[in-house]
């Protein structure tokens, strides 16, 4: 994994940040909010992201408080990143919206997929998208063993 520092921002520029990450790899999640936002993200440790603008420029949305909260620009409403905690991800994390990174090109990014809609985090990421509607549990177990 080759990480480097990248500059990110919202559309209007009120939210500015720097993040250390590998921009050649991204992920997509099938949970309700990620599906509606169409986000391509990258999960990093909190220390990898430095906010370069006032925290007061951020608005947040929380649907599941024990999972995390999504941070948006309070003015242009672009989703920039989220902060959360999942043991399966190593505890505290930040998920950066790669679409906010200067020069990001999704066509040059290897995409992995998470099954967040079904809280199936322990399955980890995979290359093929997870379905939005879950198969019966016995079918999921059988597919995972292949």
- Could you list the pLDDT tens digit for every one of the 146 residues in the chain? 699 999 999 999 999 999 999 999 999 999 899 999 999 999 999 999 999 999 999 999 998 877 789 999 999 999 999 999 988 889 999 999 999 999 999 999 999 999 989 989 889 999 999 988 866 665 555 555 44
Which pTM does this prediction carry? 0.86
CA 29 to chain centre: 8
Residue ranges of domains in the chain: 4-144
Asked if residues 132 and 29 have their Cβ atoms less than 8 Å apart, the reply is no
2: tokens are: 């080759």
Burial of 108 by CB count in 10 Å (0-12 exposed, 13-18 middle, 19+ buried)? exposed
Neighbours of 96 (CB within 10 A): 26
| Domain 4-144 class in CATH | mainly beta
Q: Which residue has the tokens 């999942």?
A: 86
């Amino acid at each position: 994994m080759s990480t480097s520092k990248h500059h990110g921002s919202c559309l209007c520029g009120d939210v500015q940040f720097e993040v250390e990450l590998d921009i050649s790899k991204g992920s997509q999640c099938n949970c309700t909010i990620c599906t509606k936002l169409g986000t391509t993200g990258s999960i990093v440790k909190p220390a990898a992201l430095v906010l370069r603008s006032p925290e007061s420029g951020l608005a947040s949305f929380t649907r599941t408080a024990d999972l995390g909260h999504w941070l948006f620009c309070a003015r242009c409403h672009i989703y920039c990143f989220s902060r959360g905690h999942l043991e399966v991800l190593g505890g505290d994390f930040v998920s950066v919206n790669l679409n906010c990174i200067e020069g990001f090109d999704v066509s040059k990014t290897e995409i992995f997929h998470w099954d967040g809609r079904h809280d199936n985090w322990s399955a980890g990421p995979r290359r093929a998208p997870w379905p939005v509607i879950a198969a019966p549990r016995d079918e999921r177990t059988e597919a995972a063993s292949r």
